[in-house]
């Protein structure tokens, strides 16, 4: 029986935790993530509104929540060492509180006394005196050493297993750290220092990127309105210094959206890739949900006099696409991209394929601990089928842009580097690097583009332009 159950006193479930509102919001979000597989970035904003948290309190709750989710693997290793028992044997609410407390002790400037006392009080109110005593003992033991000391204690030796050590140090499952290392090497980067920089970047809270809708507002105008900074890669990107982007007037009015700069580059590349023959204005987004790239593609199509068909198999996600592209020359179709029923002859087809998503982990703090290496095999089958379907819908001389928000070799070069697959689909690779605006940042040897958080400040997006022969 878990330590949290030992000596636990029955309590009134209506009792509110004796903790400050910011920590309370964080604990409630962590519980939702653990109990029902919720996404922290969807749960927390509502709790902040319900608790009327703004300014520093909201920022503190956000840091505690996302930081704890992101560092969960490291936190659990420390908790197991300090408590002498597997985390699976600890009651869920107690484990949530321990993770939150250990995160504060190791990765924030919160004083040890406040971190321990607030956490113990919360556990006492919800789980009883026995569980609070257990929590107090664990946190006091953790508080005696800093993060580096704990990493040295719970991680594999850097001398014997550097990759495993870095995975624990920067809170990544080992298989994802290995996938990053394989992808770096496949792209000509063979320095473990680069892997360390990548993991460190992926372990930090990312900046918010906005996209200025072309034809509606320029990046320069948007930056002035929101007091941000224009992007370094995408001509539509603005970096937001802080705050809730949903509260910004340009976002509310549909003049701008929240979109990683790497995703902006993908949509732009699909719109500007060179064709053989004239552009007839038939564009297709074959995997459109939830609609960010479809909206940018639609904005560019509006300028060029083109029209976009957007395909999404799930009705609820198709509704998200409809909302994102409202007022744009985009038609949304609820269909499987592998058998869309659409008439062939498209000039441009974007295949933003469903993938493991390990290139966007910094924006989904809990996701790294949910994914499994076995997920990739099924996805690569789907990716191949979607690419073949896209090729069949593309006219000769037209372009297919294949993209993933994953650098995993099986999902990237394993797909577009397969000469047999491309030959059967009638596709040939074209140099994709010129489709990225010149910035001086390294884009590798090509012909594909692989972006990296630590080198480009974007999610680890991969994209390859392919021409239909």
144 and 267 both lie in a single domain: no
Do residues 65 and 191 both lie within one domain?
A: no
Only one residue has tokens 């749960």, namely 43
Q: What is the mean pLDDT of the chain?
A: 94
User: What is the average pLDDT across 188-204?
Assistant: 97
33 lies in the same domain as 142 = yes
**CATH number, domain with residue 222:** 3.30.70
Helical residues (DSSP H) of 305-441, grouped into ranges: 315-324, 375-393, 413-416, 419-425
Answer whether residue 10 is part of any domain: no
Domain assignment present for 364: yes
Core vs surface per residue 238-258: b (16+ CB within 10 A) or e: bbbeeeebeebebbeebbbbe
Q: What are phi and psi of 310, to 5 degrees?
A: -115, 125
Q: In terms of Cα–Cα distance, which of 96, 42, 18 is closest to 64?
A: 96
Domain final residue, candidates 213, 237, 258:
258
What is the per-residue pLDDT for 15?
42
Q: Hey, which residues are catalytic here?
A: 405
- 341-376 pLDDT, tens digit each: 999 999 999 999 999 999 999 999 999 999 999 999
Query: Annotation-wise, does 290 bind a ligand?
Result: yes
Q: Is 260 annotated as a binding residue?
A: no
Does 145 appear as a known binding residue?
no
Instruction: Give the count of domains, the chain.
Output: 4
Whether 252 and 265 share a structural domain: no
Would you give the DSSP letter of residue 345?
-
312 is in an annotated binding site: yes
Query: Which token pair is 434?
Result: 């010129």
Q: What is the pLDDT of residues 62-96, one digit of tens each?
A: 999 999 999 999 999 999 999 999 999 999 999 99
Asked whether the predicted pLDDT for residue 468 surpasses 50, the reply is yes
| Within a domain: 97 | yes
Tell me, yes or no, whether 32 lies in a domain: yes
> Helix axis angle, 55-70 relative to 40-50, nearest 10°?
150
Q: What crossing angle do the helices spanning 147-154 and 72-83 adopt, rounded to 10°?
A: 80
Cβ–Cβ under 8 Å, residues 415 and 466: no
In this prediction, residue 19 carries a pLDDT of: 67
Q: What are 12-24's pLDDT values in tens digits?
A: 444 444 568 999 9
3 pLDDT band, cuts 50/70/90, is very low
**pLDDT tens per residue, range 413-423:** 999 999 999 99
| DSSP per-residue letters across 444-464 | -SSSSEE--HHHHSS---EEE
pLDDT, tens digit, for every residue of 227-240?
999 999 999 999 99
Looking at the fold, whether 235 and 331 belong to one and the same domain comes out as no
Residues 178 and 240 in one domain: no
Question: CA dihedral defined by 266, 270, 273, 278, rounded to 10 degrees?
Answer: -170
Question: Which range of residues forms the domain containing residue 312?
Answer: 260-468
84 is in an annotated binding site: no
Please tell me the distance from the alpha carbon of residue 421 to that of residue 424, in angstroms, as a whole number: 5
Whether 283 and 218 map to the same domain: the answer is no
| pLDDT surpasses 70 at 397 | yes
pLDDT band at 129 (very low <50, low <70, confident <90, very high): very high
298 and 440 co-located in one domain: yes
For residue 210, the cross-strand partners are: 238, 258
4 lies in some domain: no
pLDDT over threshold 90, residue 190: yes
Q: What is the pLDDT of residue 195?
A: 98
pLDDT at 60: 96
pLDDT at 10: 38
268 and 350, same structural domain?
yes
Q: What is the CATH number of the domain that holds 126?
A: 1.10.940.10
Sign of the CA dihedral 212, 215, 220, 223?
A: negative
Same domain assignment for residues 50 and 70:
yes
Instruction: Evaluate whether residue 14 is within a structural domain.
Output: no
On whether both 279 and 355 belong to a single domain, the answer is yes
Instruction: Say what percent of the chain tops pLDDT 70.
Output: 96
Q: Is residue 280 part of a domain?
A: yes
Q: What's the confidence (pLDDT) of residue 246?
A: 87
pLDDT tens-digit readout, 268-279: 999 999 999 999
293 appears as a binding residue in the annotation: yes
Regarding whether 351 and 457 lie in a shared domain, the answer is yes
Of 6-10, 46-50, 265-269, 355-359, give the lowest mean pLDDT range: 6-10
**Residue 3 maps to a domain:** no
CATH code for position 355: 3.40.50.150
pLDDT class of 6 with cuts at 50, 70, 90: very low
Q: Mean pLDDT, to the nearest integer, of 176-191? A: 97
């Amino acid at each position: 029986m878990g330590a949290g159950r030992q000596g636990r006193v029955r309590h009134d479930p209506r009792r509110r935790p004796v903790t400050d509102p910011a920590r309370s919001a964080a604990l409630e979000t962590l519980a939702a993530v653990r109990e029902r597989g919720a996404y922290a970035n969807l749960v927390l904003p509502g709790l902040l509104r319900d608790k009327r948290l703004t300014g520093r309190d909201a920022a503190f709750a956000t840091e505690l929540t996302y930081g704890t989710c992101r560092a969960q693997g490291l936190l659990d290793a420390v908790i197991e060492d300090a408590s002498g028992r597997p985390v699976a044997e600890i009651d869920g609410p107690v484990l949530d509180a321990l993770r939150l407390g250990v995160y504060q002790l190791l990765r924030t400037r919160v004083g040890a006394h406040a971190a321990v006392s607030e956490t113990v009080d919360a556990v006492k109110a919800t789980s009883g005196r026995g569980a609070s005593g257990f929590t107090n003992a664990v946190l006091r033991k953790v508080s005696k050493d800093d993060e580096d000391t704990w990493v040295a204690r719970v991680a594999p030796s850097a001398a014997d297993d550097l990759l495993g050590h870095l995975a624990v140090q920067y809170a990544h499952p080992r298989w994802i750290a290995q996938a990053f290392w394989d992808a770096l090497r496949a792209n000509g980067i063979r320095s473990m220092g680069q892997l360390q920089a990548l993991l460190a970047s992926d372990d930090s809270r990312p900046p918010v990127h906005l996209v200025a809708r072309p034809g509606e507002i320029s990046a320069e105008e948007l930056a002035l309105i929101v007091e941000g900074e224009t992007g370094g890669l995408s001509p539509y990107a603005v970096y937001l210094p802080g705050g809730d982007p949903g509260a910004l007037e340009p976002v509310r009015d549909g003049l701008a959206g929240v979109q990683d700069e790497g995703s902006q580059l993908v949509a732009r590349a699909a719109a500007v890739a060179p064709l053989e023959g004239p552009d007839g204005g038939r564009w297709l987004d074959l995997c459109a949900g939830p609609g960010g790239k479809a909206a940018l593609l639609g904005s560019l199509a509006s300028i060029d006099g083109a029209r976009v068909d957007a395909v999404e198999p799930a009705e609820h996600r198709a509704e998200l696409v409809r909302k994102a592209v409202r007022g744009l020359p985009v038609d949304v179709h609820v269909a499987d991209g592998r058998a869309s029923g659409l008439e062939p002859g498209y000039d441009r087809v974007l295949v933003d394929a469903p993938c493991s998503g390990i290139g966007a982990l910094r924006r989904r703090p809990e996701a790294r601990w949910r994914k499994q290496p076995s997920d990739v095999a099924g996805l690569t089958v789907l990716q191949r089928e979607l690419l073949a379907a896209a090729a069949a819908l593309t006219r000769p001389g037209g372009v297919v842009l294949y993209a993933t928000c994953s650098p995993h070799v099986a999902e990237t070069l394993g797909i577009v580097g397969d000469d047999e697959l491309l030959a059967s689909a009638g596709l040939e690779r074209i140099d994709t690097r010129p489709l990225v605006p010149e910035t001086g940042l390294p884009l590798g040897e090509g012909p594909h583009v692989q972006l990296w958080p630590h080198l480009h400040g974007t999610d680890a997006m991969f994209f390859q332009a392919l021409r239909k022969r």
